Amino acid sequence: MFTQLRERFDGIVKTLRGYGRLSEDNIAEALREVRLALLEADVSVKVARQLLERVRERAVGQDVLGSLSPGQQVVQVVYEEIAALMGGRRAPLVTAPQPPTVIMLVGLNGSGKTTTAAKLGRHLQAEGRRPLLVAADLARPAAVEQLAVLGRQLGVAVHAEPGAKDAAAVCAAALARTRTESLDPVIVDTAGRQVVDAALMEELKRLKAQIQPHEILMVADAMTGQDAVNSATAFHEALDVSGFVLTKLDGDARGGAALSIRAVTGRPIKFVGVGEKPDALEPFHPDRMASRILGMGDVLTLVEKAQETVDQREAEALAKKLRKASFTLEDFKAQLQQMKKMGPLDQLLGMIPGLNRLPGMKAGTPEMDEQERELRRMEAIINSMTAKERRTPDVLDGSRRRRIAAGSGTTVTDVNRLVRQFTEAQKMMKQLMKGRGAGRMAGGRALFPPR
């Protein structure tokens, strides 16, 4: 996500922070680099020019040139302006005064509209609501069945009428159903086309007039860059969309659509798709995304992901085990599985400030791929152990280790390394939990030395 843009900004930030004092020439040079970075990221020329003008106006003012740390001040200005470009703050979904709230999803075929409908339903269900998915895409073969299958998999109610010809009638029946079953909101998956055309827009306009949606969200493929922005403009002009959902953002190394779409249409991005899993749909926070683009991490989203995936009772039980120094390989396996639920490793590391700048911590690098493989190896090794071996690794003699290696498709060396790392971690925990204080390591050396 934004890999190319983040790497370019990384170099600009380092250069700016290296200056003890800044001149207008220094700032002009940095802004030329910012301009190149934006254009390479497929941001429209007009949007890039507007952003640079705002940054230049603020950067050459007294608040920057007179600052004790002018480089950091310019970085802060760039961060604030990128966040403002994308909307500044999160734009939540509209809620109808009288339920149900009707959310109409529109977009081209291939953008992930049907999948997004299901993911949005799951997201709202996790918030305690009772959504209803409506299969109103009657043009694409198997679209109705696809939504029905996704709904069953996620446990979200679906209103589908296989063989139906009138999308408005399907929606009317769905709305009647919400009143009897107390379902809210209604998420309508509509027909798309391969390209924007007059027939599609007329069909969507008629459906809009009949169901009177409170939200019209256009689903756009982030990887298509300026094509996504052009499509968004066309849909907005025809339907007056209220917001956007950008899909496949995890595969978008450039980020042009995310940076341009709000500036061009005046409508916010409300959600982003960051993977194929059912929970890989996130509310869009412009300030957090700007932080990621500038390599400053996104701790808030990381914490929210942890809160969503970590079972509170399990966390408390683990804390007790740590205090008693009784942490086992079974517990370690559970932690690996919790981490996998939170998302791909490179995405998680990218949210930790500064970590994404370290060698090997970037998505797609051989080092990151090896880290992913190592985690899979560790889990496979633990899965090949008996319950007794997980609780008491001391029983792992040579023959047991050979059996575990054969069962997990690894080597005895891999098994030995895992056991050694786990044993060292256990020793560290015992030292941390000793009565001498949680701030000490082996040998009495302070982990957090006094100032």
Q: How many independent structural domains does the chain possess?
A: 3
- E strand or H helix that includes residue 305: helix 299-309
Mapped to the 3 state alphabet, what secondary structure does 438-450 carry?
Answer: CCECHHHCECCCC
**Amino acid letter, 135:** A
Closest CA to 348 of 309, 297, 311, 312: 297
The answer to whether residue 1 scores a pLDDT higher than 60 is no
Residues 232 and 320 in one domain: no
In this structure, what DSSP letter does residue 221 have? E
Task: For residue 49, tell me if it sits in a domain.
Answer: yes
Given a contact cutoff of 8 angstroms between Cβ atoms, the answer to whether 441 and 424 are in contact is no
- Indicate whether 331 and 404 sit together in one domain: yes
Contacts of 93 (CB under 8 A, 6+ apart): 101, 103, 185, 215, 270
Q: Would 302 be classed as within a structural domain? A: no
Same domain, 380 and 424: yes
Residues 123 and 265 grouped into a single domain: yes
233 and 382 assigned to the same domain? no
Mean pLDDT of 410-426: 86
CB under 8 Å to 324, separation ≥6 — which residues? 433
Residues 143 and 195 in one domain: yes
CA distances from 447 to 154, 164, 450 (A): 45, 67, 9
Q: How many residues does the chain have?
A: 451
Residues 280 and 330 in one domain: no
Distance CA 448, CA 253 (A): 38
User: 207-265, pLDDT tens digit by residue?
Assistant: 999 999 999 999 999 888 888 888 999 999 999 999 999 998 877 656 778 888 998 99
Report the CATH number that the domain containing residue 122 is assigned in CATH. Answer: 3.40.50.300
**Residues 393 and 247 grouped into a single domain:** no
346 is a domain residue: yes
Distance (Å) of CA 187 to CA 101, 136, 154, 316: 9, 10, 15, 37
Q: What does the pLDDT look like over 17-59, one tens digit per residue?
A: 666 666 778 778 888 888 888 888 888 888 889 988 888 888 7
Domain assignment present for residue 195? The answer is: yes
The verdict on residue 292 lying in a domain is no
Q: What is the share, in percent, of the chain residues with pLDDT greater than 90?
A: 37
Domain limits at 385? Answer: 308-444
Same domain assignment for residues 278 and 320: no
Residues 129 and 185 in one domain: yes
Residues 80, 109, single domain; the answer is: no
Q: Is residue 293 part of a domain?
A: no
* Bridge partner residues of 187 (DSSP): 103, 133
| Structure-token pair, residue 195 | 């390209």
Of the residues 85, 116, 151, which one is the last residue of a structural domain?
85
Which of 284, 317, 334 is where one domain is finished? Answer: 284
Task: Please tell me whether residues 262 and 399 are part of one structural domain.
Answer: no
- The enclosing domain of 419 has a CATH number of 1.10.260.30
Strands 281-283 and 269-273: antiparallel
Burial class of 131 by CB neighbour count within 10 A (0 to 12, 13 to 18, 19+): buried
On whether residue 219 sits in a domain, the answer given is: yes
Is pTM beyond 0.85? Reply is no
Question: In which region does residue 91 sit, left (phi positive, over 0), alpha (psi from -120 to 50) or beta (all else)?
Answer: beta
pLDDT of residue 174: 96
Nearest to 90 by CA among 286, 255, 305: 286
Position 201 in a domain: yes
